[in-house]
Every structure is written in C-alpha cells, then in structure tokens.
C-alpha cells in the first residue's frame, strides 16, 4: 500500500484500496469524525477483533513469527488476518533494528485486512532490572533506569518525567505505541510481590509521579508524538491479603481493614484528570469493601460492574479505554504448567459467561485473550448486543486515531538503532541509578565516616562483578586483606514453582535466612562490612543491622552505578519509598491497605542519609 494524493492534493493512505479518500482516511478530520466513519464501515468480525489484546513475539532477526511462540499461542497471520486482531503485547526484544523491522512487517500484514486497521504494539515495562515475563523485562537494548521504586526514591517528579520522555522516544523508535504502565498501586503490604514497579507508599508523591509519568509518555494530550499509557491496576492492587499476589488463586483477596480504600484510589483519580489513554483493573476481588455505604460484590475487579461502571465511569467520569489484566477468561497452559484464569469470585462461569460478565462490568478489551469466535457467537446468538461491541470498538479506534497510526504506523530501522540505548540516554539512566542509592547506615570507622570510599580503598566484594569493582576501587581477595567488604544480596523470599509464572513472583516471608545472617556476621568480624540489599520488596534487616558498618538499599541499580554512589563520584540521594519493618510479627499486625503503618519500623518511610 502506498500513500496516495487526493484531487485536492492531500496525501493519504488508501487503506481500503478503493481509490478515493474516505473520511476515516482523511488526515484533516478529527479523531472522533474518523472513528465514527470507520466504525460504520466495519464488519462484526472486524469490530470484535478490536476488543482483544494478546501477547505476540518477534521472529528471528525481526521476521514475522508464523508459529506459536514461548508464550504466544498462534501464528501472527492468524491473529491479524483470520481473527482481525490488531492490539498486541510484545515480549522479548533483543535488538532495536530488528524490532523496528518487525513492526514494519506486521504493519504491512495489517494493510491486507479489509480496512487496513494498523496494529497497536504495547509493552510491559522494559527499562529496569526486573525480569518477569508476567510483569516486566530487563532493559536489553533499551536504556536502563532504576525500577519504579528507585525513581520514587529520588523524590523528584522531574526525574520521572525525564525518564518517561526518554522511554517514550525509545518505544516510538521501534513502533511501540502503548505502555502497559505506569503502575500506580500504593505499596501498602510489605510482602506483596508487585511493588518494585510501583512508586511506593507515600500517596502524595505517588500522585505527583503519576502526573509526571503521563506527561512524559503522552504529552499534554495523546497525539501522534505520544505513547498511550495504560494506568494500572484500578482501583489499587496493593491491599493483598497476606501480601499474596492475585495472579494466583491463593492471592485473590484484597482487603481493607485499615479503611484506606480512598488512599489507593487517589493516584487513579489523578490519572483520569491527566487524560490517561487507558486504565487496567487488577485481578483481585474486594472482600468486605463498602463504597458510600454500599457493599461491593466480591468479584474480581475486571468482572466488577460496581467498580468499573459505578466507580470509574460514573463517579470518576472516565470514558477512556478499559483493558482487563491478562487471561481472565481462559486458563493459560505453558509447557507442562498452567496458570488458571483469574476469574476470582466467578470461577463457576464458563468462558462465554465470563466474556458477557466482563463486558457488562464495563471493560472494553480482553487482555491476553484471542477467543474472538466465542464473542462472535455471543453476538450472533443475541446474548451480546452489537451496539455494546460498537461502544468498546469506538473507544479502541479513538486511541489509534489520536496516536496517528492510521496515517503512519511505520518506523525507520536506522533511526531505531541510533535512538534506542544511545550513549546520552544510557548515561542519564546510569546517573539516575546512582543517585537513587539509599544510604541507611554509615558508621564512623577510624575517626571518619566509612562512606564515601576512597579510590585507593582495598575492598573485598561478593555479588559484584570483578570488572566493575576494579574500575572503582582496589580489589582484595579476602576479608582479612581488605580495608572493608561490600556484599550485595537480594531481598529474601520463599521460592515457589507449581503454577506458571509463580517462580518469578517473590512472595512469602521477608526474613533473611539465618545462615546468611551468620555468614555476613563472620565477614563483619574480619573487616568493616557494607551490605547493599536489592529490594524488590522490603526486607527484615533487624538481625543484621548491628553487625554492619554500612547499609544501602537499591531498587534497580547496576554494580557500576552502586560503586559510583559509594565512592561519591555521584552523590547518592535516595530516600526510602517504602518502610522497612522491624519484624514479621509487625508486618502481620499491620493493615494490608494502610501504607507505611507497621509498628516501630526499623527504617521509616523517607529514611536516607547524606554522605
């Protein structure tokens, strides 16, 4: 398909190949006018296809994958041509040029559909350090920044805005036009596995970061320069019973004994006010929740009409796109494992009934699903009105038109290679990492604070790449030969691997293994010891703290960036975006919905030292 010039010399894409510029192809008309024109032309099959949004994978060297992938279920041409789908969540990206090539290839494939509806490519976060195919990807060719809690630790919305602007440019360079983020849930339950990508537990700061993030990715309003944001997980996913995650049956309940539901709602209210292109509800089902004195049904938020229609659409006045979280309808078998459909509270419904219930609740797109045939049958059987399909298809198309995808969905492979992960943006990300390092203890050793370290310091290290250590200080082979030791450890968790994705989610106790505490204590007896804890969620550091000469915590920081902070080459400025509880007993006694409320925390919210 080539751009064509209309008789009045307006260049347009003849998407339906009829040789004339129809209103939906006219770049001079508003997104609303073009949407109405196109909607009136679409078949039922095309409209139904708009309501599904599933995983897709890139073939070797940017080719179109025409077989099921590691996660994706079907050949690419099947979902685009046979199922009329055009929203896809891309998984692994290893090379920017190949990703751009692949975008262009699937956009050319989409041109073969009756009305040439372009593909919208979405992604989970991919600029940080967390590798979890159910939540986010490590940076790969993209610039690498602190994860969400690390950005929050800087207490500077301008840094969040700068990150979002640079990430937007990298996304657009490879054709990604929808971000399945920001994740603005309040991190109120210390055990919850999903908090690394949040902005922490200070509601006022989370609201400020939400606004800055949307401004960086979308601009003042979504347009052809934007990446559309899907703000999640409405109405706040942090209040998980016992901190268990709602991806899994044992984590389906969200509870509000602290009466803090309105706190969790505030970032989403800000997102609505700032024009987020879409909102994603979480899997969890509210238990014992009342809003304005009315009991809320104990059904998952994606199925919950009181939440999606009553609260989000009517009370908050939101008329944008609602995309469910992934796989609410069908179980997801992967290899020899399975992840049950997250139909919490309505498990007894079959797949057809679940589709009906989700649409009735007020959602527009089925995340992670491709069962277009079931929805077509429901309309043909008179169970779902075609006017209800139109209502959601209209919202979906409006976002596509506002993003300018109908006018130009293609990208430049060479530009992608030059923009993604360029030196300037990588440097900005590395500096943000170093600045986000949060110093919690800095003892006086031989009459002076241990930090910042001198370049000549002899350092024994564990958990740090030897090359990075040698670039910053003088390596020592043993603690006895060293002036001090630095050990990097991960926050503790209880490994699980029964259900698909479970191994990626760090859940359970926050207590350090006793053997690790003992071994670190032995090192501390031989030389002053600095421990850095990579916190994807809080840790109980009480048994360790007295033995340490120095303690830092990080939320997505490379070895080089940590050492830049410890040597003072870049001043660490982090402040805790969550509190570090004193004990598991304190965690169990606190309300899961009330942020930063454990009794007598070891380090309160906002803790952090200057060096």
Q: Which residue has the tokens 């939101």?
A: 318
For residues 366 and 358, is the Cβ–Cβ distance under 8 A? yes
Measured CA to CA in angstroms, residue 53 lies from 84, 89, 334 at distances of 11, 7, 18
User: Tokens representing 56?
Assistant: 């897709």
Output helix, strand, coil percentages for the chain, rounded to the nearest 5: 35, 15, 45
Exposure string of 223-256, with b = 16+ CB inside 10 Å and e = fewer, is eeebbbbbbbbbbbbbbbbbbbbbbbeebbbbbb
Question: Rounded to whole angstroms, how far apart are CA atoms 606 and 578?
Answer: 7
Give, for 228, the enclosing helix (H) or strand (E): strand 228-234
Give, for 265, the enclosing helix (H) or strand (E): helix 261-273
The three state secondary structure string of 53-111 is: EEEECECHHHCECCCCCCCCCCCHHHHHHHCCCCEEEECCCCCHHHHHHHHHHHHHHHC
For residues 128 and 556, is the Cβ–Cβ distance under 8 A? yes
Backbone angles phi, psi at 232, to 5 degrees: -140, 160
Widest CA span of the chain, in angstroms? 84
- DSSP letters, 368-431, are T---HHHHHHHHHTTSS-HHHHHHHHHHHHHHHHHTTTTT-----HHHHHHHTT-HHHHHHHHH
Give me the numbers of helices (H) and strands (E) for the chain, helices first please.
19, 24
**DSSP state at residue 307:** I
Question: Rounded to whole angstroms, how far apart are CA atoms 147 and 133?
Answer: 15
The three-class DSSP label of residue 353 is helix
Contacts of 180 (CB under 8 A, 6+ apart): 89, 122, 123, 124, 125, 230, 232, 280
Measured CA to CA in angstroms, residue 354 lies from 86, 326, 348 at distances of 22, 13, 9
Q: Which residue has the tokens 């992604």?
A: 123
Question: Crossing angle of helices 423-436/559-566, nearest 10°?
Answer: 60
For residues 230 and 178, is the Cβ–Cβ distance under 8 A? yes
Classify burial at 205, counting beta carbons within 10 Å of its beta carbon; exposed 0-12, middle 13-18, buried 19 or more.
buried
Question: Crossing angle of helices 203-218/261-273, nearest 10°?
Answer: 20
Q: Which residues participate in catalysis according to the annotation?
A: 325
199: left (phi over 0), alpha (psi -120 to 50) or beta: alpha
């Amino acid at each position: 398909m080539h751009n064509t010039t209309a008789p009045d010399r307006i260049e347009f894409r003849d998407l339906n190949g009829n040789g004339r510029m129809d209103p939906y192809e006219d770049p001079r008309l508003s997104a609303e006018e073009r949407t109405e024109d196109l909607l009136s032309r679409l078949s039922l099959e095309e409209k139904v296809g708009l309501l599904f949004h599933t995983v897709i994978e890139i073939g070797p060297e940017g080719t179109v994958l025409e077989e099921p992938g590691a996660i994706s279920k079907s050949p690419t041409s099947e979902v685009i041509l046979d199922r009329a789908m055009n929203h896809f969540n891309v998984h692994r990206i290893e090379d920017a040029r190949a990703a751009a090539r692949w975008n262009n290839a699937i956009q050319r494939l989409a041109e073969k559909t009756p009305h040439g509806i372009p593909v919208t490519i979405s992604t989970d976060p991919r600029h940080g350090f967390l590798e979890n195919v159910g939540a986010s990807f490590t940076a790969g060719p993209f610039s690498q920044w602190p994860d969400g809690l690390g950005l929050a630790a800087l207490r500077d919305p301008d840094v969040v805005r700068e990150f979002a602007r640079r990430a937007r440019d990298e996304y657009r360079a490879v054709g990604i036009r929808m971000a399945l983020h920001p994740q603005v849930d309040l991190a109120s339950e210390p055990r919850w596995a999903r908090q690394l990508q949040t902005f922490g537990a200070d509601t006022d700061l989370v609201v400020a970061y939400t606004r800055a993030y949307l401004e960086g990715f979308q601009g003042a309003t979504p347009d052809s320069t934007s990446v559309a944001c899907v703000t999640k997980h409405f109405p706040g996913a942090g209040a998980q019973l016992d901190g268990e995650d709602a991806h899994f049956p044992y984590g389906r309940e969200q509870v509000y004994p602290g009466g803090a539901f309105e706190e969790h709602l505030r970032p989403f209210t800000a997102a609505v006010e700032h024009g987020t292109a879409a909102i994603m509800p979480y899997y969890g089902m509210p238990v014992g929740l009342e809003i304005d004195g009315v009991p809320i049904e104990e059904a998952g938020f994606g199925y919950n009409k009181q939440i999606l229609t009553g609260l989000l659409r009517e009370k908050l006045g939101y008329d944008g796109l609602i995309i469910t979280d992934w796989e609410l309808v069908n179980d997801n078998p992967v290899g020899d494992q399975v992840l049950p459909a997250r139909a919490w509270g309505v498990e007894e419904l079959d797949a057809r009934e679940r589709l009906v219930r989700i649409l009735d609740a007020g959602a527009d797109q089925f995340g992670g699903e491709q069962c277009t045939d079931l929805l077509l049958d429901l309309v043909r059987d008179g169970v779902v009105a075609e006017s209800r399909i139109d209502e959601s298809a209209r919202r979906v198309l409006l976002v596509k038109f506002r993003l300018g995808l109908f006018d130009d969905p293609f990208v430049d492979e060479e530009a992608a290679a030059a923009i993604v992960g360029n030196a300037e943006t990588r440097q900005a990300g590395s500096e943000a990492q170093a600045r986000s390092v949060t110093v919690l203890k800095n003892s006086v050793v031989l009459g002076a604070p241990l930090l910042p370290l001198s370049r000549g310091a002899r350092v024994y290290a564990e958990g740090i790449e030897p090359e990075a250590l040698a670039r910053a200080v003088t390596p020592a082979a043993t603690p006895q030969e060293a002036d001090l030791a630095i050990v990097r450890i991960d926050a503790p968790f209880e490994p699980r691997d029964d259900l698909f994705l479970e191994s990626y989610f760090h859940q359970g106790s926050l207590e350090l293994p006793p053997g690790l505490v003992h071994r670190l204590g032995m090192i501390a007896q031989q030389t002053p010891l600095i421990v850095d804890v990579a916190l994807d969620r809080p840790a109980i550091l009480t048994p360790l703290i007295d033995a340490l000469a120095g303690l830092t915590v990080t939320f997505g920081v490379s070895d080089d960036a940590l050492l830049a902070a410890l040597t003072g080459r870049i001043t660490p400025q982090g402040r805790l975006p969550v509190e570090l509880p004193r004990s598991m007993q304190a965690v169990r006694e606190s309300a899961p919905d009330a942020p930063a409320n454990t009794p007598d925390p070891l380090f309160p919210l906002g803790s952090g030292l200057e060096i």
